[in-house]
Amino acid sequence: MVGLATVFGAGGGTSSYAEIEEADVVVLWGSNARNAHPIFFQHVLKAVRRGARLYVVDPRRSETAQWADLWLGNHVGTDIALSHTIAREIIHAGLANTDFIGRATTGFDEYLATVEEWTLERGEAVTGVPADAIRELAHAYATADRAQLCWTLGITEHHNGVDNVLALINLALLCGHVGRHGAGLNPLRGQNNVQGGGDMGAIPNRLAGFQDILDPDVRERFGSAWGVTIQDRYGWHLTQMFEAMERGDLRAVYVIGENPAQSEADKEHTVELLRGLDHLVVQDIFLTRTAELADVVLPGSASWCESEGTVTNSERRVQRTRKALDPPDGARDDIQIILDVCRRLGHDWQYGDTPRDVAEAVWDEVRSLSPMHAGMSYARLEELNGIQWPCPHDDRLEPSYLHGRLWADDPAERGRLAPFSPVVDDPPVEGLSEAFPLRLTTGRRLDSYNTGVQSGGFSNPLRHGESIDVSPEDAARLGVVDDEWVRVTSPRGALTAPVRIDPVLRPGLVFMTFHFPEQVDTNVLTIDATDPKSGTAEFKAAAVRIEKLDV
């Protein structure tokens, strides 16, 4: 989101799922959508069945890659190098969209100078992807009318994740694949309402509708609606919070629906910091590992199917969620708990009697303060089965794609042009060494969800436990076999796990999920190097060694 907001001013995917289905070329970059975004992947498959070509860029030949027309298996952390090589090939083949570049972008010359050294030969040597494959993707992407570039954590969970995203945005600017029906740039959001959380201002620098906290008019409008004074400085994002805990500047934390004791990188250090707080409050539907450390647990909040509200997905579509089940005895909507806390803090905000009334009244307040949501009444959301933002008017809808203004003939209408970003190749913080010769990347499997809180604890026949996945070549070299327990060590910690030999991995690359805390704490191994621009940790690149256990 930071990358898209930097270039275009708005942090959201630029297309709709319907446009994905109409695409000629779909590139999934660092995304295992087959497993992690199965519903979105159905839209991709509809395009493929229509004849679209699917390209997947992923160091592993993931299940998604197995569906692709062409898989580009790059080395972990070489995505900027790959993007620059593709760009240079597009430019030298005369396929750059000079009309769009001239009309809608700035900084092309500097960008050109940055990518010029990335010949196909150099690209192949650095990324490990054969030059022919790079050339094919470059030509297919540049010549397609409707090209969609989508990415997820393989791009963002690096110490330079934002630069990685900027490198992909450069490709779309180069080819004019943004701001038109059918062409776009789409980060797929992790949870059902991550997009909605950001849109509502659950980020350190913006209030609802991405309005800048540093803007005095914005502070004044929100402040008078709420009867409070809003601070005129940015807050901390998650990793800055942990840094502040380390310095002793952050002493109390209120966690709602997150399990950082399990999901943060360098876990032992994280738990130490959470333990050291003066006051920790956790509001969750389960008693998580984080809740076990808390001074106060606000338990039994109603889950999504037991409460009213909205969620916003990766195509920026706001959709109503309705109460389908009664919550268990004593459980309440998160919003009721939050309103009670507010009351104790001196703000007796009344929104209505029933959960439905409260949810709608809160939403109407959002619409009164956030112009991009203004036209989305509950009645209209229900009638249209969800609406994409922006929707400022209650009598019409905007196009399903963003940034159409960039194509306008009138420069005044075009507004702020989109800058190319001359980012540079920057390998993972932790290099490989004799002591730690293997690259560990971590991610997801279809059968489980994040820290396992919501997908464990009951009998789930699909779910099989954690493993350290290694290539057949590495398994042979280490003399280990399937299901044999080994020790995995990184500079931060060690654990034991069973081996799973997986041919989707190439020699030197090993893979783990982080879904099975009762069995293995994967984040004991990961590095807490973070991208200062987004606060995201480098979960995708640690260095480890694997040793046989003494028999």
Q: Restricting to residues 167-196, name those near ligand MGD by CB under 6 A.
A: 190-191
450 binds ligand MGD (CB under 6 A): yes
Residue type, 341: V
Q: Is 539 in the site for ligand MGD (CB under 6 A)?
A: yes
| Nearest distance from C-beta of residue 440 to ligand MGD, angstroms | 9
> What are the structure tokens assigned to 13, written together?
């995917």
CA 31 to chain centre: 10
Touching ligand MGD, residues 72-111 (CB under 6 A): 74, 76-77, 79
- Whether the Cβ atoms of residue 494 and residue 544 lie closer than 8 Å to each other: no
What does the block give as tokens for 138? 């470059």
Q: What residue ranges in 67-121 does DSSP mark as E strands?
A: 70-72, 105-106
Residue with smaller CB distance to ligand MGD, 16 or 164: 164
Q: What's the DSSP call for residue 549?
A: P
By beta-carbon proximity to Mo ion, the closer residue of 190 and 197 is: 190
- Residue 32 contacts ligand MGD per CB under 6 A: yes
Among the listed residues 88, 146, 237, 540, the single contact to ligand MGD using CB under 6 A: 540
Residue closer to ligand MGD (CB basis): 70 or 256 = 256
User: If binding is defined by CB under 5 A, does position 190 make contact with Mo ion?
Assistant: yes
For residues 165 and 74, give the distance between their C-alpha atoms in angstroms, rounded to a whole number. Answer: 16
- CA–CA dist 198, 210 (Å, integer): 8
- Residue 465 interacting with Mo ion (CB under 5 A): no
Q: Which of the listed partners (ligand MGD, Mo ion, none) does 371 bind, with a CB threshold of 5 to 8 Å by partner kind?
A: none
* Under 8 Å between Cβ of 70 and 136: yes
Please say whether the beta carbons of 121 and 5 come within 8 A: no
Binding residues for ligand MGD restricted to 276-315, rule: CB under 6 A: 283-286, 288, 301, 303-304
Q: Is 496 left (phi over 0), alpha (psi -120 to 50) or beta?
A: beta
Pick the binder of ligand MGD from 16, 31, 85, 193 (CB under 6 A): 31
Contact 188, 40 (CB under 8 A): yes
Question: What H or E segment, with its residue span, contains residue 56?
Answer: strand 53-57
Q: Given candidates 446, 481, 494, 549, which one binds ligand MGD under the rule CB under 6 A?
A: 446
Number of residues that bind ligand MGD (CB under 6 A): 54
Smaller CB separation from ligand MGD, 260 or 390? 260
Rounded to an integer, what distance in angstroms lies between the CA atom of residue 529 and that of residue 272? 17
| Interface positions with ligand MGD (CB under 6 A) | 29-33, 35-36, 57-60, 62, 74, 76-77, 79, 152-154, 157, 190-191, 256-260, 263, 283-286, 288, 301, 303-304, 334, 441-444, 446, 448-451, 453-454, 514, 522-523, 526, 539-540
